[in-house]
Homo-oligomer: A and B are copies of this chain.
Amino acid sequence: MSEYRRDPVTDRWVIIAPDRAQRPREMTFDDEDRLESEYCPFCPGHESATPPSIVDFPKDSDHWDVRIVPNKYPAVRSDADDPGSPSPLFERRAGLGTHEVVVESPRHVVSLTDLEADQLERVVGSWRSRLAELAEDTRLEYALLFKNQGARAGATVEHAHSQLMALPMVPTFLEAELQGSRRYFDRHERCVFCDLAEHNLDSGDRLVYANDAVVAFAPFASRFPFELWVTPRGHAAEFQATGSTTNAAIADALGAVLDRLHQALDDPPYNMAVHTAPLRAGPLEHFHWHIEIIPALSNQAGFEWGSGWHINSTPPESAAAHLRKIATDTY
């Protein structure tokens, strides 16, 4: 059974999840970072290899395009017991939460770049739909949607999938963004993400792609080579709030940048995370959802672990210029 523990110095939470150590490595990977699998638990016909679906899309149909299932080796659980805190120095909490897997295609594809545009749009729609459902559970404060692409980025199953963890507290990075964007708003009476979207569309030296509703750019203070942010042009705090930005526009921009990354870096492993407002936070004027994409090209080393800062050898202006030159068939 897992638990949250708070570091007594920094107040940083970790999840201690011994059950995760038991999880089999469902595949190994070869020299080219291609996962090698004998049996795919996410292919149609193998539904019994996972726990029963939480929701299938389309709903009430005899087939599925996108399937959301409980993680077989969850880091957190909805029925977690309170472990009690042994002392004020050592605060512990029940490993409460949900840990779900989004199977992104009924075909055995290994990457979002293998999806047709309309399927990627369905994936985006299923992400948003499930986030909206999770917001109804008032024990949960935050839902983190993320993706590990490639074994070197932490994937243990090859078939294209993302993960959704709903948590009883707002994670550190989100708290820092909420506080930082609040400071910026108090100073400038503007959302910093709105300003970043506008600046990138105007100046263009870090711009990678834009459509009518969504913009993708290499951030000014990129921590990693080819780090990319994807964000709506109009203000929107909640990723799941479908009013302002269509699934198609998000899928188009996401597909466009992932396709370019795929070509530029020869199918790189990467991590992707949606940064969105806390559940039920309502309309926040200072915070704006965005997707962060981090190619897993370099090791986190002693400097980074010691400082929390990053050394990046690729200026974002160079990365963006390189990606802008790439033409794609679909986008």
The answer for the CA separation of A33 and B90 in the assembled complex, in Å, is: 36
Q: Which residues A146-183 have CB closer than 8 A to chain B? A: 146-148, 152-154, 163, 165, 167, 171-174, 176-177, 180-181
Given A17-B312, A18-B315, A154-B302, A9 and B177 contact (CB-CB distance below 8 Å): yes
**Whole-angstrom distance from the CB of A268 to the nearest CB of chain B?**
14
- Among A147, A174, A223, chain B packs the most CB atoms within 10 A around the CB of A223
**Chain B residues near A273 (CB, 8 Å)?**
302-303, 305-307
Per-residue contact bits, chain A 257-284, to B (CB 8 Å; 1 contact, 0 not): 0000000000000011111000000000
Which among A87, A192, A306 has the greatest number of chain B C-beta atoms within 10 A? A306
Q: Which of A154, A163, A292, A296 has the most CB of B within 10 A?
A: A154
Q: Are B314 and A11 in contact (CB under 8 A)?
A: no
Tell whether A331 is near chain B: CB-to-CB under 8 Å: no
Binds B, one of A55-63, A193-201, A242-250: A193-201
Check if B10 sits within 8 Å of A306, measured CB to CB. Answer: no
Of B176, B180, B314, the contact of A308 (CB 8 Å cutoff): B176
B15 in contact with A310 (CB, 8 Å): yes
Query: Residue-by-residue, is A77-113 near B (CB-CB < 8 Å gives 1, otherwise 0)?
Result: 0000000000101100000000000000000000000
Which residue of the partner chain, among B10, B18, B223, contacts A177 with CB atoms under 8 Å?
Answer: B10
- Are B221 and A173 in touch, CB under 8 angstroms? no
In the assembled complex, the CB of A285 is this many whole angstroms from the nearest CB of chain B, namely 15
**Contact between B301 and A153, CB atoms less than 8 A apart:** yes
User: Is A7's beta carbon under 8 Å from chain B?
Assistant: yes
Minimum CB–CB distance from A315 to chain B (whole Å) comes to 5
In this complex, the member of A145, A173, A196, A296 whose beta carbon has the largest number of chain B beta carbons within 10 angstroms is: A173
Q: Which of B14, B199, B221 is in CB contact (< 8 Å) with A7?
A: B221
From A271, which residue of chain B is reached at the shortest CB distance? B302
In contact, A171 and B306 (Cβ under 8 angstroms) = yes
In the complex the two chains form, is A171's CB within 8 Å of B299's CB? no
Contact A17 B152 (CB under 8 A): no
B8, B163, B223, B309: the one within 8 Å of A171 (CB)? B309
- Using Cβ atoms and an 8 Å threshold, which residues of chain B touch A294? 305
**A9 is contacted by which of B8, B180, B272, B316 (Cβ under 8 Å)?**
B180
A8 and chain B: residue at smallest CB distance: B192
Residues from chain B with Cβ under 8 Å of A292 in the complex: 305-306
- A318 contacts across to B, CB distance below 8 A: 18
Instruction: Find A312's partner among B14, B195, B271, B307 (CB 8 Å cutoff).
Output: B14
Answer yes or no: A313 CB below 8 A from chain B CBs: yes
A193-B306 in contact given A15-B311, A312-B15 (Cβ < 8 Å)? no
User: CB-CB < 8 A to A223: which residues of B?
Assistant: 12, 14
Q: Is residue A126 within 8 Å, beta carbon to beta carbon, of the partner chain?
A: no
Contact B192 A9 (CB under 8 A): yes
A13→B310 CA distance, assembly (Å): 8
18 contacts across the A-B interface (CB closer than 8 A): A8-B195, A8-B196, A9-B177, A9-B193, A10-B176, A14-B221, A16-B315, A16-B316, A17-B313, A18-B315, A18-B318, A154-B299, A154-B300, A172-B309, A173-B306, A173-B308, A271-B300, A294-B305
